[in-house]
Amino acid sequence: MALLEVRDLASGYGELQVLWGVDLDLDSGLLTSLVGSNGAGKTTLLRSIMGRLPLKEGTVVFKDEDVGGMSAHEKAGRGLILVPEGRQLFTSMTVEENLEMGATVPRAAAKAKENREKVYELFPRLKERAGQKAGTLSGGEQQMCAVARGIMSEPEILMVDELSLGLAPVLALNLFKALKLLREEGMTILLVEQNVHLALKISDYAYVLSEGRVSLHGTAAEVEGNQEVRKAYLGI
């Protein structure tokens, strides 16, 4: 059963339409990647699902409830969580304080202590930096903090936008390993990622977005084996 169902979604910015009739399903406990070239509409889709952009058409159904008209805050309260592109941390606050902000929704408050221990185990470097202001962290540490803040929100679905953007390969690889571990623990994840090869390696399912439309979807192995994908995104 799909935990999230997107049907015929159309969205954009003002009069500029970016997405056209997008369908997408997220099955519980799976890691699904959304890949495509720059400008294909990947970030727009996440923002539209989350409620940061209004829908022009279509529906978003989360746990059998139509949430298309809900605000981002209401969706977060139900467990739909977005780790945005660019991290968007509270830079003048400490790592610990940023994590606490992730646990402000009522459903997460009761598990704040448990989840804090979880993210410090997943990202030991954050524990070392707990009292340090987020704005003074390296790019990789900031991305760890952004993902950790998302986990603190007790997500039913964790959506991550551009996990590895601007990071050194070794730091990006550590973050991919963290997402894979979360998926193995049963978390449902939607990943938007520019590194198509690594994204498909850790994913169960994948969608290819092209010019605002889904051009291909299937298991990660099927998508990786597609000749057009191999040529366009994998350099093969």
Q: Which of 109, 101, 216 is nearest to 149 (CA)?
A: 101
Residue 45: name the closest of 162, 166, 183, 168 by CA. 162
Using a CB cutoff of 8 Å and minimum separation of 24, what contacts does 130-133 make?
A: 130/94, 130/95, 130/96, 131/94, 131/95, 131/96, 132/94, 132/95, 133/91, 133/92, 133/93, 133/94
Sign of the alpha-carbon torsion through 217, 219, 225, 230: positive
- Computed from CA positions of residues 107, 189, 68, 70, in that sequence, does the dihedral angle turn out positive or negative? positive
Q: What band does 79 get if pLDDT is binned at 50, 70 and 90?
A: very high
pLDDT tens for residues 28-71? 999 999 999 889 999 999 999 999 999 999 999 999 999 999 99
Q: Give tens-digit pLDDT for 161-203.
A: 999 988 888 889 999 999 999 999 999 999 999 889 999 999 9
pLDDT tops 70 at residue 236: no
Domains of the chain by start residue, with CATH: 1-79+158-164+194-236 (3.40.50.300)
